[in-house]
Amino acid sequence: MSEPILTARGICKDYRDGDDVCRVLHEMDLTVQRGEFVAVMGPSGCGKTTLLNVVGLLTPATEAARLELDDVNCLQLSDARRTALRRDRIGFVFQRFNLLSTISAAENVRLAMQLKRVNPDGQVNTVLERVGLGKVAHRKPGHLSIGEQQRAAIARAVACQPALLLADEPTGNLDSANAESVLRLFRDLHDEYGLTIVMITHSTECAKAADRVLHMRDGRFVDD
Ligand SMILES: Nc1ncnc2c1ncn2[C@@H]1O[C@H](COP(=O)(O)OP(=O)(O)OP(=O)(O)O)[C@@H](O)[C@H]1O
Ligand SMILES: [Mg+2]
């Protein structure tokens, strides 16, 4: 029987723009079952990244009736507990990668694992090989192509075997061969140890890798 790993109800998010307040997410509900692979699609600016940041505990909702991750009520957590929950349970692939620029791709992966108290020995190279970065992992992000940086960010996110992977356009900068290998990696992790994935994508082709596709428009889920 399936059980939710993520339950969000009535999520609203406002951004302030000078004197104006702009509502970006309108009472959104989202349930993701443990082990599910969900794709989220929608036009640029409709709020996909904002939604991912709220359910990933990076940004507080302006209003929320319920936000639970792994049975933990996230609406009443201290900052320290929220940070710890995020660190221990969630892997992020950011739209802008957010790799540390002063250390190599391999060190980015190693550091993420150490921060999550996962023993990196032997695992760093394995995961980098898996995303096809074995030969360039010693380089700093500035000396990698955009597609290679994207794959380094993916390696960093999946290296710690998070319970929930939140991926913001993880194939947005990749050619079709590399996009396919990243999606295969996601499917493999999903099949091998039940990784739950929420993936934002603009590509109908990439969305086919998911079990379920959600469509967003103007801060709401719509039928298609
Ligand atoms: N920090 C911010 N302050 C004010 N407005 C913001 C901020 N971040 C995002 N927005 C606005 O919120 C809306 C949703 O942004 P968001 O980044 O969530 O869109 P998106 O669906 O991820 O778009 P894209 O596909 O281009 O990445 C946009 O209109 C954007 O301009
Ligand atoms: Mg975005």
For the chain, the domains span: 4-222
**Ligand 1 nearest atom to the CA of residue 52, by list position:** 18
The number of the ligand nearest the C-alpha atom of 202 reads 1
Please list the residues that pair with 11 across neighbouring strands.
28
Q: Looking at ligand 1, which residue's alpha carbon is closest to its atom 24?
A: 44
What CATH number does the domain located at 4-222 have? 3.40.50.300
Ligand 1 site, CB within 6 A:
15, 17, 24, 42, 44-50, 95
Enumerate long-range contacts of 176-182, CB under 8 Å, 24 or more apart.
178/132, 178/147, 178/151, 179/203, 179/206, 181/131, 181/132, 182/131, 182/150, 182/151, 182/154
Q: Looking at ligand 1, which residue's alpha carbon is closest to its atom 18?
A: 47
pLDDT of residue 1: 57
Of 24, 52, 92, 199, best ligand 1 pocket probe by most atoms within 8 Å of the beta carbon: 24
DSSP 10-59: EEEEEEEETTEEEEEEEEEEEEEETT-EEEEE--TTSSHHHHHHHHTTSS
pLDDT of residue 155: 92
The SS3 of residue 66 is strand
Hey, what amino acid is at 175? Answer: D
- Strand pairing of 37-41 and 212-217? parallel
Query: Residue 76 Cα, ligand 2 centroid: separation in angstroms?
Result: 27
Cα→Cα distances 163→135, 180, 202, 206, Å: 29, 23, 24, 22
Query: Residue 47 Cα, ligand 1 centroid: separation in angstroms?
Result: 6
Per-residue pLDDT of the chain (224 residues; tens, 9 = 90+): 579 999 999 999 999 989 999 999 999 999 999 999 999 999 999 999 999 999 999 999 999 999 999 999 999 899 999 999 999 999 999 988 899 999 999 999 999 999 888 888 878 999 899 888 999 999 999 999 988 999 999 999 998 889 999 999 999 888 888 888 889 889 988 888 889 999 999 999 999 999 999 999 999 999 97
Of 11, 20, 26, 50, best ligand 1 pocket probe by most atoms within 8 Å of the beta carbon: 50
Query: Residue 19 Cα, ligand 2 centroid: separation in angstroms?
Result: 24
Query: Residue 120 Cα, ligand 1 centroid: separation in angstroms?
Result: 35
Q: Is the dihedral of CA 109, 68, 171, 13 positive or negative?
A: negative
The SS3 of residue 5 is strand
Query: Residue 131 Cα, ligand 1 centroid: separation in angstroms?
Result: 29
